[in-house]
Structure 1
């Protein structure tokens, strides 16, 4: 692992992982109700955001506003569906 990835892992461990640092904490965090599944509001200011349903699941589509799309990317959120989408995603 690169030095940069070690630094990122350390930062995440300190800032984002305390809720999962033990099995008990992780189970408690996963039992809590999830927040909104909608993308952050600022995303809609610069992009066209839509929510097509695919087999009954919300699948968010984000496209640049006023630009021709030449490439596609698919983002599959990890986390075993225990947390809502965040600004970093």
Structure 2
């Protein structure tokens, strides 16, 4: 079942995959790792787009977060993860 916390962890996982891809790209000789994580990032982005669309439809996330995940997530999924953190902090009651 799709929930906001699961969407958030999917976004964090996608960001981790992207980070590994960047490291593999930066270190010579890791072409195999780069290919695997590049493929995972691309397919993960498609999955995140679908999940973001469904999250908006179910009112689990707002349109701003969906855009951060979908549009900006293709080039840097860290933006979607950062937006989850920003929105979660804004939702917390001030004590």
Scaled by the length of structure 1, the TM-score of the pair is: 0.27
The structure carrying a bigger helix percent of its residues is 2
Quick check: which one's strand share is greater? 1
Q: Which structure would you say has the larger Rg?
A: 1
- TM-score of the pair, normalised by structure 2: 0.26
Which structure would you say has the larger RCO, counting Cα contacts within 8 Å and 6 or more residues apart? 2
